[in-house]
Amino acid sequence: MGEKIVVDVAMEQLKLAIEVQLVAHHTDPVSFCADQLRIARLVGNGWTYFPVTVPMMEDEATLMALLQATFVRCQLEQGLVPDAER
């Protein structure tokens, strides 16, 4: 596949794509379907997709715990040693 796909935050070494998802962004079925295809292409290229919504950002402790768990899993999948300090 190897195509260039633009995301909000890409952590290339971890193959982790973080995106802020806004309800207002999906204004019609065509844009919604195009976004889902882009996400499927990311996953098909071996990336982990991590969506973030505004309510998730308002619960910082939960969001950070989920991100930390995802970082560790991605590090393990990429053969990297998880950083216990973070």
What confidence category does residue 65 fall into, taking pLDDT thresholds of 50, 70 and 90?
very high
- Mean pLDDT, rounded, for 37-57: 95
Query: Sorting pLDDT into bands at 50, 70 and 90, what band is 24?
Result: confident
Tell me if residue 16 falls in helix, strand or coil: strand
Domain ranges of the chain: 9-77
pLDDT tens string 25-43: 777 888 889 899 999 999 9
pLDDT over 90 at 20, yes or no = yes
18-24 mean pLDDT: 88
Here the tokens at position 2 are 């190897």
**Which letter, b or e, does each residue of 49-69 get, where b requires 16 or more Cβ atoms within 10 Å of its Cβ?**
ebebeeeeeeeeeebeeebee
Q: Does the CA dihedral 52-15-48-42 come out positive or negative?
A: positive
Q: Given this model, what pLDDT does residue 28 score?
A: 85
Which of 45, 46, 47, 44 lies closest to 19 in space, CA to CA?
47
